[in-house]
Amino acid sequence: MTYPFDLIIRIIVAAVLTVIFGNGSVVAFNNIKPEWFADYPDQEDINKDARVNVENKKTKKPKKVLPPKLIEADSEGRQRLPSTPWKYAFVGYFGIVGLYLAIRGGSVEYMIYVMCVLFVLLLMAISDALYMIVPDQFSIALALMSVAFAGYHETWWEPLAGAGIGLALSLSILGLGLLVYKTGSIGGADIKFFTCMGLIGGRGGIVIIFVLTTLIFAMHSVIRISTGRATIKDSLAMLPSGCVACTIYFLFLWNMWELWFL
């Protein structure tokens, strides 16, 4: 009778977290302080302003600006992310994740940790998709959450090694983009994402997450370009692909690296 009782507890916890995170994703995003999204303008805009300042014989240091879409939504009193249909979509997403983790078995603690991480990753993905800006506070939250996963690793240095690999992989993509395309092919938020997920997943986890993110992002980019919704020169958000990749990893591939290679 112990197993059915544990299953009921896990399902109840999953249901509560589904309601909180599903509805909370929309509420949290719509109530994030605008200052969190403040960022320096693109280099093209900076160069344009510099030319104007030279003509006016003035020097001006670039200031952080808010995304135009955010300013427009807040000034008009609209939701940045409409409650309908997104709260239903996110409730469905967390419901599937929670129910799968509950039925699969394992500890309630792991289910709570995973759903908390996915909640933050979802907010990061939304920010990247809408504004191409991801607040640093989300990366800090992921780094802090990695402490909860430290006990799942066999050695104390595993999270640090994972973070190092995540940083190295993302910097290698950045360097490759600068070498081939003369421009950064990965943003600062993406580098922080891979580094923080390395803290959580360790060496094997970040390699799996990196490969999955790259493949999903490549497929998504091909679809958008082939359907005319983007061009090869456009900068596309990577973190939505990263959120999907992490979901797959936590549900199906957690600790699989150790089983395969160690």
Per-residue pLDDT tens digits for 15-74: 999 999 999 999 999 999 999 999 887 655 444 444 444 444 555 566 889 999 999 999
* pLDDT per residue as tens digits for the range 18-30: 999 999 999 999 9
Distance CA 213, CA 126 (A): 16
User: How many structural domains are present in the chain?
Assistant: 1
- In this model, does residue 259 exceed pLDDT 90? no
More confident site: 259 or 102: 102
* pLDDT in the model for residue 161: 97
**Are 166 and 214 in contact, with CB atoms under 8 Å apart?**
no
Domain containing residue 158? 2-261
- In this model, does residue 118 exceed pLDDT 60? yes
pTM for this model (two decimals):
0.90
Phi then psi dihedrals of residue 39, to 5 deg: -150, 160
* pLDDT per residue as tens digits for the range 164-219: 999 999 999 888 877 776 666 788 999 999 999 999 999 999 999 999 999 999 99
